[in-house]
Structure 1
Amino acid sequence: MSCSMLGIINATTEFDTFQNLTAHRSLASLPYAGRYRLIDFMLSNMVNSGITNVAIFTGQETRSLMDHLGSGKQWDLDRKRDGLFVFSPDGNSRNERFGSFAHFAKNMTYFLRSKQKYVVITNCYTIGTIDFCKILNCHMETGADITEVVHNGNSLQTYILSKDLLLSLFEQYKNQGYYNILDVVHDKRHQFQINLYDWTGYIAIIDSLSNYYQNSLELLQPTVWKQVFTKNEPIFTKVKDEPPTRYKKDAKVTNSMIANGCMIEGEVENSVIFRAVKIGKGAIVRNSIIMQKCKIEENCVLDGVIIDKDVNIGNGIQLKGTTEAPHVVKKGTVQKGR
């Protein structure tokens, strides 16, 4: 399967509701589903659709994202022709609104050198399996200027248009008052033909802390998992080798996702556990998300919590949150026990 499209991922969006989870990383690099990052899903959708030329436009906080993406090898995008391109903002552009036509236009050479006829523009926080080739075929059949992808009537902020039209929008965005493609679509004055494509597969939008928490645990349902992780359309990510997880004599695990490299001695129920996590004897972890290299010591009780990476929860600590307001423990925290 191959599509003559440029893939553009806007990885500049940030939401305040994520609290401490995005204080040291971009939203695009937020860990998800035990071993992935949010950006892996749209990036993998592009690769699975045969898109070999992908540009990621980032905001100011890029270290964790750049470390994750590397050369693009994990997505087969370390190529002599086309491949993965990351465009970060200029150091003196702190007040610029990134992800805009202005941001794109500053890298005009990339667009002019590309050979693809069409462009797909999307975000970094949509979870699901999307075939962009099907949408492109519909776009060409309808003769639309811009095709907007929606799900149950809600915009996925994903658009397909010709590269020539995008370049023309770069040239006129100041005069027309267009900040980005969303402004174009919503402007009732334009003469463009806008086509809506309703994607009917599973979709999750991770635009708030509660959505992150709820959709992460929703993946524990087999019917949801099978729609996101399919045999023919895999989700690629940076591989980190760890030994198999060890389950000690008193360990008890129910309806949970456990990554490799963990040591489980306590009880885990309805939770997502990332790699290299240690859960001590007598500890109980329910309805929680525990990120990589955390240590939960003996006799802790955690329910409805999100624990960022490298956290140490001491003996006997009890933490509780709710579905709407999960309790968040920021990266590197050490909570001394009894």
Structure 2
Amino acid sequence: MKQLLGVIDAATYHEDLQDLLLHRPVAALPFAGRYRLIDFVLSSMVNSGISSVAIFPKFGYRSLMDHLGSGKNWDLNRKRDGLFLFPASPMEAERNSGIGCFSHYADNLDFFYRSSQEYTIISNSFTVINTDFRELLQKHLACGCDMTEVYKNGQPLNIYLLKTSLLIDLIESRYETGYDCIKDVFDDMKSPYTFCTYEYEGYARRVDTIKNYYKTSMELLDAQVWTALFKRSQPIFTKVKDEPPSRYYEDSSVKRSLVANGCQLRGVIENSIIARGVVVGRGAVIRNSIIMQKCQIGENCAIDSVILDKDVKVESGTMIEGSPGMPKVYRKSSVIEQVDSRLKSLMTL
């Protein structure tokens, strides 16, 4: 849509997710086996006809750059408009700021001046959502407000809509007003602007804690939730990787799980999410867990309510257990060898 400019804030850091953010920003956090969190807001923008999207990361953004590339997978590798990445300056990277940081935008103010779109959508990068932002624009225009914020069940999603010219004014006047970010404007009871709220009725979840990440991931195993999020008319795009189909050996059993391509599965997998290239050894039992890309699970392992980051190796015979309310998290490239007698019963199934 020529009226809309997309801006995605990828600078937010969530302390509770730190074990999964050592080598990546939250925008690049793997999700649902083959996606990254940023894919959902970015795809929503593309499916809404937005052809110019700017992404503002702050730190650890190499994995994000690798994932996004030229924007080809989102049809944003264009001669005019397209995908833009504006990393924070070293001084800006030291600042603690909210979503829609005006000083970060000020370092790239020329981008906003050159943009021809009349309205701008500012969004965080960690909300799992699949929406058409044109409906938000129509509501905004009908209400005649200066700014509109998106809500879900009465809670803010940190997605905002305003005129591009107003955004430029807010950036340029930040020292006079004291507003550091777009959220500050909404929080100011004495603000001279008029605000509207847009209650989103579809599926939407903020992923800002380990608990939310795990809960949201497990919700995808519900067919109704999956259908509500992954709509045929509004596909979620991601980086394409050419890998062979997953191989299910005769002694494997997979129930109520999401399995990406390139896996070799010999064990029992139930109620879990298995990412690309995972190897599961003979006799292993995996339940209620999230196993990220290229993990290796040895023979006769028992894993329950666990999150394994990429390239984790679980030695044969290892037994580990978390809980749905507090899943155990293992950092990228860890090697795990830990026997837990409470899980020995799983090995007899």
Instruction: State the TM-score, normalized to the length of structure 2.
Output: 0.94
Moved over 4 A (4+): none
Supply the AA of the counterpart residue of 2:53.
V
Which residue of structure 1 lines up, in the alignment, with residue 243 of structure 2? Answer: 242
Deviation, 1:3, is 4.9
What is aligned with 2:259?
258
Task: Tell me the secondary structure at the aligned position of residue 173 of structure 2.
Answer: helix
The answer as to whether partners of 1:3 and 1:49 remain within 8 angstroms in 2 is no
- Indicate the residue corresponding to 1:16 in structure 2: 15
Secondary structure of 1:214 counterpart: helix
Instruction: Give the equivalent residue in structure 2 for 1:80.
Output: 79
Question: 1:55 is paired with a residue of what secondary structure?
Answer: strand
Aligned equivalents of 1:228, 1:3: Cα separation in 2: 25
Separation in 2, partners of 1:7, 1:175: 26
Letter in 1 for 2:30: P
- Count residues in correspondence: 337
Q: CA deviation at 1:123?
A: 0.3
Displacement, 1:97? 3.5
Match of 2:271 in 1: 270
How far 1:128 moved relative to its partner?
1.5
Q: Offset of 1:54 from its aligned partner?
A: 0.3
SS of 1:332's equivalent in the other structure is: coil
CA distance in 2: counterparts of 1:199 and 1:94, whole angstroms: 32
User: What pairs up with 1:225-240 in 2 under 5 angstroms?
Assistant: 225-240=226-241
Q: Which runs of 5+ in 2 are unaligned?
A: 340-349
Gaps of 5+ in 1: none
Give runs of aligned pairs for residues 213-228 of structure 1, distance below 5 A. 213-228=214-229
* CA apart distance, 1:94: 3.9
- Aligned pair 1:308/2:309, yes or no? yes
Q: Does 1:89 align with 2:95?
A: no
CA contact (8 A) 1:244 1:260 kept: yes
The equivalent of 1:128 in structure 2 is 129
More displaced, 134-143 or 263-272?
A: 134-143
Q: 1:267 Cα deviation (Å)?
A: 0.0
Tell me which moved more, 2-11 or 295-304. 2-11
**Post-superposition shift, 1:142?**
1.2
CA distance in 2, matches of 1:5, 1:335: 48
Q: Is the 8 A contact 2:277 2:295 kept in 1?
A: yes
Q: Residue deviations 1:159-217, cap 9 Å, x none?
A: 11001111111121111111111110110111211011101001111010010011101
Shift of 1:337: 7.6
Q: 1:196-253: per-residue Cα shift (whole Å, max 9, x none)? A: 1101001111010010011101100000000110000000000111111111111001
Quick one: distance in 1 between partners of 2:189 and 2:206? Answer: 26
Deviation at 1:336, TM superposition (A): 4.5
Cα contact 2:92–2:104 (8 A) shared by 1: no
Which amino acid is 1:22 matched to? L
Is the CA contact 1:3–1:133 (under 8 Å) kept in the aligned structure 2? no
Residues 31-46 of structure 1 mapped to structure 2, 5 A cutoff: 31-46=30-45
Q: With structure 1 as the length reference, what TM-score do the two structures score?
A: 0.98
Letter in 1 for 2:178: G
Q: CA RMSD in A?
A: 1.2
Aligned to 1:112: 113
Q: Note if 1:26 corresponds to 2:25.
A: yes
8 Å contact 2:37–2:125 — kept in the other structure?
yes
Work out whether residues 128 and 227 of structure 1, in 8 Å CA contact, stay in contact via their aligned partners in 2: no
